[in-house]
Amino acid sequence: MRITVIGTGYVGLVVGACFAETGNDVVCADVDAAKIDGLRRNVLPIYEPGLEAYVARNQAAGRLTFTTDVPAAVASAEVIFIAVGTPPDEDGSADLKHVLAVAETIGRHATREIVVVTKSTVPVGTADKVAAAIRPLIAHPFHMCSNPEFLKEGAAVDDFMKPDRVVVGVASEFARDRMAELYSPFVRTGKPVIFMDIPSAEMTKYAANAMLATRISFMNEIANLCERVGANVDLVRKGIGSDARIGPAFLFPGPGYGGSCFPKDVKALVKTSHDAGAPMQVLVAVEEANERQKTRLFDKVRAALGGEVRGARVALWGLAFKANTDDMRESPALTLIEALLAAGATVVAHDPAAMHEAERRLGDRITYARTSYDAVAGADALVIVTEWNEYRFPDLARVKAALRRPVLVDGRNLYDPEKVRSLGFTYRSIGRGRE
What is the three-class DSSP state of 234? helix
Active-site residue (options: 28, 145, 226, 261): 261
Decide: 228 and 53 in contact? Cβ < 8 Å: no
Q: How far apart are CA 219 and CA 217, in angstroms?
A: 5
Closest residue by Cα to residue 7 from 154, 167, 119, 146:
119
Measured CA to CA in angstroms, residue 267 lies from 91, 124, 271, 278 at distances of 9, 14, 6, 14
| 226 annotated active-site | no
Using CB atoms within 10 A of its CB, is residue 374 exposed (0-12), middle (13-18) or buried (19+)? middle
Kindly give, in sequence order, each residue whose CB lies less than 8 Å from that of residue 11, ignoring residues fewer than 6 positions away: 83, 119, 120, 149, 151
Kindly give, in sequence order, each residue whose CB lies less than 8 Å from that of residue 338, ignoring residues fewer than 6 positions away: none
Measured CA to CA in angstroms, residue 362 lies from 34, 323, 329 at distances of 22, 20, 13
Q: Give the length of the chain.
A: 435
How many separate helices (H) and strands (E) can be counted in the chain?
A: 18, 14
Q: 166-170 and 142-146: which strand pairing? A: antiparallel
Among left, alpha and beta (phi > 0; psi -120 to 50; other), residue 81 is beta
Which residues, in sequence order, are bridge partners of residue 313?
Answer: 346
Q: How far apart are CA 108 and CA 101, in angstroms?
A: 11
Q: In what order do the strands lie in the sheet with 193-196?
A: 64-67, 25-29, 2-6, 79-82, 114-118, 142-146, 166-170, 193-196
Angle in degrees, 0-180, between the axes of helices 296-304 and 332-342, rounded to the nearest 10: 50
What is the three-class DSSP state of 332? helix
What is the three-class DSSP state of 214? helix
Q: Which residues are catalytic?
A: 261
